[in-house]
Protein backbone atom coordinates (compact mmCIF):
# COMPACT_ATOMS: atom_id res chain seq x y z
CA UNK A 1 0.00 0.00 0.00
CA UNK A 2 2.77 2.41 0.93
CA UNK A 3 4.37 1.71 -2.43
CA UNK A 4 1.25 2.96 -4.21
CA UNK A 5 1.14 6.10 -2.08
CA UNK A 6 4.78 6.83 -2.91
CA UNK A 7 4.14 6.23 -6.62
CA UNK A 8 1.14 8.57 -6.57
CA UNK A 9 3.11 11.28 -4.78
CA UNK A 10 5.97 10.94 -7.25
CA UNK A 11 3.51 11.12 -10.14
CA UNK A 12 1.91 14.29 -8.74
CA UNK A 13 5.33 15.88 -8.24
CA UNK A 14 6.38 14.92 -11.78
CA UNK A 15 3.18 16.41 -13.25
CA UNK A 16 3.64 19.61 -11.27
CA UNK A 17 7.29 20.01 -12.30
CA UNK A 18 6.48 19.19 -15.93
CA UNK A 19 3.60 21.65 -15.99
CA UNK A 20 5.78 24.40 -14.54
CA UNK A 21 8.55 23.59 -17.00
CA UNK A 22 6.17 23.58 -19.96
CA UNK A 23 4.70 26.90 -18.83
CA UNK A 24 8.19 28.42 -18.70
CA UNK A 25 9.04 27.06 -22.16
CA UNK A 26 5.74 28.38 -23.54
CA UNK A 27 6.50 31.86 -22.18
CA UNK A 28 9.96 31.86 -23.76
CA UNK A 29 8.49 30.76 -27.10
CA UNK A 30 5.86 33.52 -26.81
CA UNK A 31 8.61 36.09 -26.11
CA UNK A 32 10.59 35.24 -29.23
CA UNK A 33 7.46 34.79 -31.34
CA UNK A 34 6.18 38.28 -30.52
CA UNK A 35 9.46 40.08 -31.14
CA UNK A 36 9.96 37.98 -34.27
CA UNK A 37 6.47 38.91 -35.47
CA UNK A 38 7.20 42.62 -35.05
CA UNK A 39 10.49 42.36 -36.96
CA UNK A 40 8.96 40.19 -39.70
CA UNK A 41 6.03 42.48 -40.39
CA UNK A 42 8.15 45.62 -40.43
CA UNK A 43 10.50 44.08 -42.96
CA UNK A 44 7.70 42.35 -44.90
CA UNK A 45 5.56 45.50 -45.10
CA UNK A 46 8.55 47.51 -46.30
CA UNK A 47 9.11 44.96 -49.03
CA UNK A 48 5.55 44.67 -50.34
CA UNK A 49 4.96 48.43 -50.14
CA UNK A 50 8.22 49.31 -51.87
CA UNK A 51 6.63 49.68 -55.35
CA UNK A 52 4.17 52.23 -53.94
CA UNK A 53 6.95 54.01 -52.07
CA UNK A 54 8.99 54.30 -55.26
CA UNK A 55 5.91 55.45 -57.19
CA UNK A 56 5.21 58.22 -54.64
CA UNK A 57 8.85 59.21 -54.47
CA UNK A 58 10.48 60.54 -51.32
CA UNK A 59 7.36 61.59 -49.46
CA UNK A 60 6.07 61.49 -45.87
CA UNK A 61 2.79 59.99 -47.06
CA UNK A 62 4.67 56.72 -47.57
CA UNK A 63 4.96 56.55 -43.79
CA UNK A 64 1.16 56.68 -43.53
CA UNK A 65 0.94 53.61 -45.76
CA UNK A 66 3.48 51.80 -43.61
CA UNK A 67 1.61 52.74 -40.46
CA UNK A 68 -1.78 51.57 -41.72
CA UNK A 69 -0.49 48.13 -42.68
CA UNK A 70 1.73 47.67 -39.62
CA UNK A 71 -0.62 48.73 -36.83
CA UNK A 72 -2.64 45.51 -37.09
CA UNK A 73 0.38 43.59 -35.84
CA UNK A 74 -0.54 44.67 -32.32
CA UNK A 75 -3.56 42.36 -32.46
CA UNK A 76 -1.26 39.39 -33.01
CA UNK A 77 0.96 40.22 -30.06
CA UNK A 78 -1.84 41.20 -27.67
CA UNK A 79 -0.89 44.83 -27.06
CA UNK A 80 -3.58 47.52 -26.75
CA UNK A 81 -2.60 51.16 -27.36
CA UNK A 82 -4.43 54.20 -26.01
CA UNK A 83 -3.39 57.68 -27.16
CA UNK A 84 -4.68 60.52 -24.99
CA UNK A 85 -5.18 64.09 -26.23
CA UNK A 86 -4.55 63.26 -29.92
CA UNK A 87 -6.01 66.64 -30.92
CA UNK A 88 -2.82 68.28 -29.65
CA UNK A 89 -0.72 66.75 -32.42
CA UNK A 90 -3.43 66.85 -35.10
CA UNK A 91 -3.07 70.56 -35.74
CA UNK A 92 -1.71 71.30 -39.20
CA UNK A 93 1.58 73.01 -38.37
CA UNK A 94 5.28 72.36 -38.11
CA UNK A 95 6.43 71.12 -34.71
CA UNK A 96 8.99 68.91 -33.01
CA UNK A 97 7.45 65.78 -31.51
CA UNK A 98 9.61 64.14 -28.86
CA UNK A 99 8.93 60.62 -27.64
CA UNK A 100 10.55 58.48 -24.95
CA UNK A 101 12.30 55.42 -26.38
CA UNK A 102 12.06 52.08 -24.56
CA UNK A 103 12.12 49.26 -27.07
CA UNK A 104 11.86 48.01 -30.63
CA UNK A 105 8.15 47.95 -29.80
CA UNK A 106 8.09 51.76 -30.09
CA UNK A 107 7.87 51.32 -33.86
CA UNK A 108 4.42 49.82 -33.46
CA UNK A 109 3.45 52.66 -31.16
CA UNK A 110 4.51 55.15 -33.81
CA UNK A 111 2.32 53.31 -36.33
CA UNK A 112 -0.64 53.44 -33.93
CA UNK A 113 -0.32 57.21 -33.50
CA UNK A 114 0.07 58.09 -37.17
CA UNK A 115 -3.64 58.73 -37.64
CA UNK A 116 -3.29 61.70 -35.28
CA UNK A 117 -0.09 63.39 -36.40
CA UNK A 118 -0.54 62.48 -40.11
CA UNK A 119 2.44 64.29 -41.65
CA UNK A 120 5.62 63.41 -39.82
CA UNK A 121 9.26 62.92 -40.82
CA UNK A 122 11.31 60.69 -38.54
CA UNK A 123 14.84 61.54 -37.44
CA UNK A 124 16.86 58.31 -37.25
CA UNK A 125 20.47 57.29 -36.78
CA UNK A 126 22.20 56.68 -40.11
CA UNK A 127 22.76 52.99 -39.30
CA UNK A 128 19.03 52.42 -39.77
CA UNK A 129 19.38 53.19 -43.48
CA UNK A 130 21.41 50.01 -43.98
CA UNK A 131 18.71 47.81 -42.46
CA UNK A 132 17.07 47.05 -45.81
CA UNK A 133 14.36 46.96 -46.99
CA UNK A 134 13.13 48.92 -43.96
CA UNK A 135 16.02 51.40 -44.23
CA UNK A 136 15.18 52.15 -47.85
CA UNK A 137 11.56 52.50 -46.83
CA UNK A 138 12.55 55.05 -44.18
CA UNK A 139 14.49 56.99 -46.80
CA UNK A 140 11.44 57.07 -49.06
CA UNK A 141 9.34 58.21 -46.09
CA UNK A 142 11.52 61.34 -46.08
CA UNK A 143 13.31 60.33 -42.89
CA UNK A 144 16.36 62.38 -41.89
CA UNK A 145 19.40 60.25 -41.11
CA UNK A 146 22.04 61.64 -38.77
CA UNK A 147 25.54 60.50 -37.90
CA UNK A 148 25.74 60.38 -34.13
CA UNK A 149 29.48 59.85 -34.37
CA UNK A 150 29.92 63.36 -35.77
CA UNK A 151 27.64 65.64 -33.70
CA UNK A 152 28.67 68.92 -35.35
CA UNK A 153 27.99 67.72 -38.91
CA UNK A 154 24.82 65.95 -37.75
CA UNK A 155 23.50 69.13 -36.15
CA UNK A 156 24.16 71.27 -39.23
CA UNK A 157 22.58 68.69 -41.55
CA UNK A 158 19.58 68.24 -39.28
CA UNK A 159 19.01 71.97 -38.90
CA UNK A 160 19.18 72.55 -42.67
CA UNK A 161 16.83 69.69 -43.57
CA UNK A 162 14.44 70.35 -40.71
CA UNK A 163 13.86 73.94 -41.84
CA UNK A 164 12.59 72.70 -45.21
CA UNK A 165 10.42 70.05 -43.59
CA UNK A 166 8.90 72.33 -40.93
CA UNK A 167 8.14 75.08 -43.45
CA UNK A 168 5.85 72.59 -45.22
CA UNK A 169 3.91 72.05 -41.96
CA UNK A 170 5.43 68.61 -41.49
CA UNK A 171 6.29 67.59 -37.94
CA UNK A 172 9.63 66.08 -36.98
CA UNK A 173 9.66 63.02 -34.72
CA UNK A 174 12.76 62.74 -32.53
CA UNK A 175 13.69 60.43 -29.65
CA UNK A 176 15.51 62.87 -27.35
CA UNK A 177 17.16 60.11 -25.31
CA UNK A 178 19.15 59.26 -28.44
CA UNK A 179 18.98 55.50 -27.92
CA UNK A 180 16.73 52.81 -26.50
CA UNK A 181 16.40 53.04 -22.75
CA UNK A 182 16.96 49.67 -21.07
CA UNK A 183 15.81 51.02 -17.71
CA UNK A 184 12.01 50.86 -17.57
CA UNK A 185 11.81 52.96 -14.38
CA UNK A 186 13.03 56.34 -15.65
CA UNK A 187 14.05 58.32 -18.73
CA UNK A 188 17.60 58.77 -19.94
CA UNK A 189 19.10 62.29 -20.02
CA UNK A 190 17.90 64.18 -23.09
CA UNK A 191 20.29 65.20 -25.85
CA UNK A 192 20.27 68.74 -27.25
CA UNK A 193 19.46 68.03 -30.91
CA UNK A 194 15.65 68.27 -30.81
CA UNK A 195 15.74 71.39 -28.64
CA UNK A 196 18.35 73.15 -30.77
CA UNK A 197 16.18 72.58 -33.83
CA UNK A 198 13.02 73.76 -32.07
CA UNK A 199 14.70 76.96 -30.87
CA UNK A 200 16.52 77.49 -34.18
CA UNK A 201 13.27 77.24 -36.15
CA UNK A 202 11.03 78.73 -33.43
CA UNK A 203 8.51 75.90 -33.61
CA UNK A 204 6.79 74.34 -30.59
CA UNK A 205 7.85 71.11 -28.91
CA UNK A 206 5.11 68.52 -28.41
CA UNK A 207 6.09 65.84 -25.87
CA UNK A 208 4.45 62.43 -26.04
CA UNK A 209 5.03 60.07 -23.13
CA UNK A 210 4.53 56.31 -23.38
CA UNK A 211 3.95 54.34 -20.19
CA UNK A 212 6.52 51.73 -19.22
CA UNK A 213 6.44 48.37 -20.96
CA UNK A 214 5.76 46.53 -17.72
CA UNK A 215 4.75 43.40 -19.65
CA UNK A 216 8.24 42.82 -21.09
CA UNK A 217 10.96 41.20 -19.02
CA UNK A 218 14.07 40.48 -21.09
CA UNK A 219 15.87 38.67 -18.32
CA UNK A 220 13.03 36.17 -17.91
CA UNK A 221 12.09 36.21 -21.61
CA UNK A 222 8.54 37.32 -20.92
CA UNK A 223 6.27 39.25 -23.28
CA UNK A 224 2.73 39.18 -21.90
CA UNK A 225 -0.50 40.60 -23.28
CA UNK A 226 -0.91 44.16 -22.12
CA UNK A 227 -2.05 47.72 -22.54
CA UNK A 228 0.00 50.83 -23.21
CA UNK A 229 -1.05 54.40 -22.50
CA UNK A 230 0.51 57.29 -24.39
CA UNK A 231 -0.28 60.88 -23.57
CA UNK A 232 0.27 64.01 -25.64
CA UNK A 233 1.35 66.80 -23.32
CA UNK A 234 0.68 70.47 -23.92
CA UNK A 235 2.90 72.08 -26.60
CA UNK A 236 5.88 74.03 -25.29
CA UNK A 237 6.52 77.27 -27.13
CA UNK A 238 10.04 78.24 -28.18
CA UNK A 239 9.14 81.69 -29.50
CA UNK A 240 11.68 84.26 -28.41
CA UNK A 241 14.08 81.69 -27.01
CA UNK A 242 17.74 81.62 -27.98
CA UNK A 243 20.38 78.89 -27.85
CA UNK A 244 21.34 80.17 -24.40
CA UNK A 245 17.92 79.05 -23.19
CA UNK A 246 18.30 75.46 -24.44
CA UNK A 247 19.72 73.93 -21.21
CA UNK A 248 16.82 75.28 -19.13
CA UNK A 249 14.36 74.21 -21.81
CA UNK A 250 15.73 70.66 -21.74
CA UNK A 251 15.45 70.48 -17.96
CA UNK A 252 11.90 71.82 -17.99
CA UNK A 253 10.71 69.40 -20.67
CA UNK A 254 12.48 66.41 -19.16
CA UNK A 255 11.01 67.08 -15.72
CA UNK A 256 7.53 67.36 -17.22
CA UNK A 257 7.93 64.11 -19.15
CA UNK A 258 9.43 62.30 -16.15
CA UNK A 259 6.37 63.17 -14.04
CA UNK A 260 4.01 62.04 -16.81
CA UNK A 261 6.00 58.82 -17.30
CA UNK A 262 5.75 57.96 -13.62
CA UNK A 263 2.03 58.79 -13.51
CA UNK A 264 1.19 56.70 -16.57
CA UNK A 265 3.43 53.84 -15.46
CA UNK A 266 1.76 53.78 -12.04
CA UNK A 267 -1.62 53.70 -13.76
CA UNK A 268 -0.86 50.66 -15.93
CA UNK A 269 0.80 48.71 -13.12
CA UNK A 270 -1.45 49.52 -10.15
CA UNK A 271 -3.71 46.47 -10.60
CA UNK A 272 -0.94 43.94 -11.18
CA UNK A 273 -0.51 41.12 -8.65
CA UNK A 274 2.25 41.62 -6.09
CA UNK A 275 4.32 38.79 -7.58
CA UNK A 276 4.19 40.13 -11.17
CA UNK A 277 7.71 39.90 -12.67
CA UNK A 278 8.30 43.60 -13.29
CA UNK A 279 11.62 44.29 -14.98
CA UNK A 280 13.84 47.20 -14.08
CA UNK A 281 16.14 46.64 -17.06
Pairwise pLDDT comparison (2 vs 130), residue with the higher score: 130
110 occurs within a structural domain: yes
274 occurs within a structural domain: no
- Model pLDDT for residues 32-53, shown as the tens digit of each residue: 888 888 888 888 888 888 888 8
- Model pLDDT for residues 59-75, shown as the tens digit of each residue: 888 888 888 877 778 88
* pLDDT of the residue at 259: 94
176 occurs within a structural domain: yes
pLDDT at residue 14 is higher than 70: no
Domain span at residue 263 reads 2-269
- Model pLDDT for residues 78-112, shown as the tens digit of each residue: 888 999 999 998 888 889 999 998 888 888 888 88
103 occurs within a structural domain: yes
241 occurs within a structural domain: yes
List the CATH number of the domain containing 81. Answer: 3.40.1130
Total domain count, the chain: 1
127 occurs within a structural domain: yes
281 occurs within a structural domain: no
265 occurs within a structural domain: yes
Query: What is the full DSSP assignment across the chain?
Result: -HHHHHHHHHHHHHHHHHHHHHHHHHHHHHHHHHHHHHHHHHHHHHHHHHHHHHHH-S-THHHHHHHHHHTTHHHHHTEEEEEE-THHHHSSS--EEEE----TTHHHHHHHHHHHH-SEEEEEEGGGGGSTTHHHHHHHTT-EEE-TT-HHHHHHHHHHHHHHHHHTT-EEEE-TTSS----TTSPPPPPSHHHHHHHHHT--EEEEEE---TTEETTTTEE--EEEEEEEPPPB--TT--GGGHHHHHHHHHHHHHHHHHHHHHHHHTTS-TT------
Amino acid sequence: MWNYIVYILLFIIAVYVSKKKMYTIAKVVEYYFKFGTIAFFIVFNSLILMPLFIWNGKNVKNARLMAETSKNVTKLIGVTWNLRNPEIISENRGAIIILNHQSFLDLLGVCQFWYAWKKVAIVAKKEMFYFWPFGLGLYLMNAIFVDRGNPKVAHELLLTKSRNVLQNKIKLLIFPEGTRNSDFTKLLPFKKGAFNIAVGTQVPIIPIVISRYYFINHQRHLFNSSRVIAECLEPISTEGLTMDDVPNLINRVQNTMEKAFKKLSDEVTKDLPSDYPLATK
